[in-house]
Amino acid sequence: MQFSMDSSSSSTVSVMLVSALLLSFLMVVSASNFYLDFDTSYGGNRAKILNNGELLTLSLDNSSGSGVQSKGEFLYGKIDMQVKLVPNNSAGTVSTYYLSSKGQYWDELDFEFLGNLSGEPYIVHTNVITQGKGNREQQFYMWFDPTADFHNYSFLWNPQYILFSVDGTPIREFKNLESNGVPYPNKQLMQIYSSIWDGNDWATQGGRVKIDWSKAPFTASYRNFTTYACVQPNGTFCSSNSSFSTSNNNTWYYSQQLDSASQAKLKWVQDNYMIYNYCTDTKRFPNGTFPYECTVTN
């Protein structure tokens, strides 16, 4: 059978093909499945996927911790994970959820949850590592008990800035100041990692409080992993011109800055719950020798 198309039909088909190609670079996972999205990186059966792939538990005992990593890699994304942390006496343990690239000069965005003695608050430790250089720590207490239920921890990473959020409330912002000589993670694909491990040397009160192994195993739980992320399997990096449709799901990519309401929430968290900020550490940076990004964002 033969057929022909007029110019109007041909244009319509072309638009459909281009749209399909653009959408192929946008990975949208609305209902996560840990079986499909992650591999166990270490710890064997200490990493368990339950409830038909909807729940991940990671455990630590005196032999080993455990961890998983995403099968996919991406450049830029809005990534959410609901986490319920180790309850009761979790001193010395570190549960994590972070993004990282590979190699000697890697990029990384960190949520690390530092365990505590029963009744004391968890510390949420954040860091931004660019080209293998970190030392950009900010630490927070939360305004809720993170062991009693699941809470959503989110990265928004686009060409303009990085935003750490908890239950939709921003807690930390890192702007792209590459034009001023501040390295920004925009050239390396990252994977998503979660783990639990022995942080005896530093996790609780600077390492003064050690793990009580009689309480093992220590278990953190993860669910509702969701991502909107730019993925290009051929290795070509994402750009607003070639990799995205105009779907509402992509608004995170084009966001330039926080709106006034989000800025107010960020200030509230930093005024009331921040307990360490490298940008105010005069012992590390004497005589006002703070990194450039600190002079702009603080």
Banded model confidence at residue 82, pLDDT cuts 50, 70, 90 = very high
Active site residues: 108, 112
Q: Check residue 48 and give its pLDDT.
A: 98
Domain residue spans in the chain?
A: 25-297
- Per-residue pLDDT at 229: 83
Q: How far apart are CA 22 and CA 132, in angstroms?
A: 32
pLDDT digits (tens, 9 = 90+) for 227-271: 888 876 555 556 544 444 444 567 888 899 999 999 999 999 999
For residues 123 and 116, is the Cβ–Cβ distance under 8 A?
Answer: yes
Condensed to tens digits (0 to 9), the pLDDT of residues 163-201 reads: 999 999 999 999 999 999 999 999 999 999 999 999 999
Q: How do residues 44-74 score in pLDDT, each as one tens digit?
A: 999 999 999 999 999 999 999 999 999 988 8
More confident residue, 3 or 273: 273
CATH of 25-297, one of 3.40.50.880, 3.30.565.10, 2.60.120.200, 3.40.190.10: 2.60.120.200
